[in-house]
Amino acid sequence: MFHLSIITINYNNKAGLELTVKSVQNQQSSNYEHIIIDGGSTDGSKDVILENKHSFSYWVSEPDSGIYNAMNKGIKVAKGTYLLFLNSGDHFYKDNVLKQYSKYIIDKDIIYFNLNVVDSKEAYIKTYPNVLSFSYFTKDTLPHPATFINKEVFKKTSLYYEQFKIVSDWKFFIDAICKYNASYIQIDETLSTFYFDGGISSNPANKKIRQSERKQVLENEYRSYFQDVKDVLFYKSIVDNLRKSRIIKLLVRLGFLHKF
């Protein structure tokens, strides 16, 4: 059994697949397997797979029903204790990160790192909180390309929900942490690079779909919690606006109010 299964899904992204495969091959570590799940690409991606098939423990190129169907295929054949979804176009931040950070991949259900995010204007390191909460997941999620997931967690949460097009990875994380109390740890190191403009969830055309799918999860499965969070956020916005008020600042300076 491998310590880590790196799962790469791809569909008609030959250049991205080449980048990802090379990044994995360049890693100064051998205690992993690389799995390729291709959705029956017609752009030459299969040629890339065949040219590098010696590097893969498993590969398939066949039609699927979407991203999460492909990810679930990868989970089912993975032999590693931990899974990392490094999809086509994503790559490791440096060639030694698996070797350097392997010491952290123990004990916890979910182990997440920083993510190098590249968009059309800039590159920046996105960090994540060391304490996760329901309110956090109403606004954000964890980075798949920089998160190791113990395969056993999927036996508690079930596999990715294939009826959703965009937010099933977010649903998995909020369920695992908030519903099933999965253990986790944040590592303040950068593991992977993600190109924001290439992601399906970052596509402005998918914004309404993303909002609709998230709303379904929050209202159907976390209704009472979500209402509490909405109330807290509403009152927080009032307090934040008061803090910015020039009149309030003046009253504080004059000693009529204490700073809050």
Q: CATH number of the domain that 206 lies in? A: 3.90.550.10
Q: Which two tokens stand for residue 153?
A: 């967690």
Which of 4, 147, 169, 140 has its CA nearest to residue 70? 169
Domain shared by 177 and 254, yes or no:
no
Q: Which two tokens stand for residue 155?
A: 């036996």
Backbone torsion region of residue 149, taken as left when φ is above 0, otherwise alpha when ψ lies between -120 and 50, otherwise beta: beta
Domain shared by 107 and 85, yes or no:
yes
pLDDT tens, position by position, for the chain (260 residues)?
Answer: 568 999 999 999 999 999 999 999 999 887 899 999 999 999 999 999 999 999 999 999 999 999 999 999 999 999 999 999 999 999 999 999 999 999 998 889 999 999 999 988 899 999 999 999 988 998 899 999 999 999 999 999 999 999 999 999 999 999 999 999 999 999 999 999 999 875 555 566 688 999 999 989 988 988 877 666 666 555 556 656 656 666 656 555 656 556 65
pLDDT per residue as tens digits for the range 158-214: 999 999 999 999 999 999 999 999 999 999 999 999 998 755 555 666 889 999 999
Domain shared by 100 and 75, yes or no:
yes
Distance CA(96)–CA(166), nearest Å, equals: 31
Q: In total, how many domains does the chain have?
A: 2
Containing structural domain, residue 42: 4-221
Phi, psi at 115, each rounded to 5°: -130, 130
Within 8 A by CB and 6+ apart from 133, the residues are 178
Domain shared by 41 and 122, yes or no:
yes
Domain shared by 20 and 128, yes or no:
yes
Domain shared by 206 and 110, yes or no:
yes
Domain shared by 23 and 58, yes or no:
yes
Distance CA(146)–CA(156), nearest Å, equals: 21
Which of 246, 235, 234, 233 has its CA nearest to residue 257? 246
| 9 residue type, one letter | I
Domain shared by 83 and 189, yes or no:
yes
Domain shared by 59 and 81, yes or no:
yes
Interstrand relation of 184-195 and 91-92 (parallel, antiparallel or unpaired): antiparallel
Which of 122, 170, 114 has its CA nearest to residue 145? 114
Domain shared by 16 and 74, yes or no:
yes
Domain shared by 193 and 243, yes or no:
no
Which of 47, 57, 39, 48 has its CA nearest to residue 17? 48
Domain shared by 74 and 127, yes or no:
yes
Distance CA(144)–CA(184), nearest Å, equals: 14
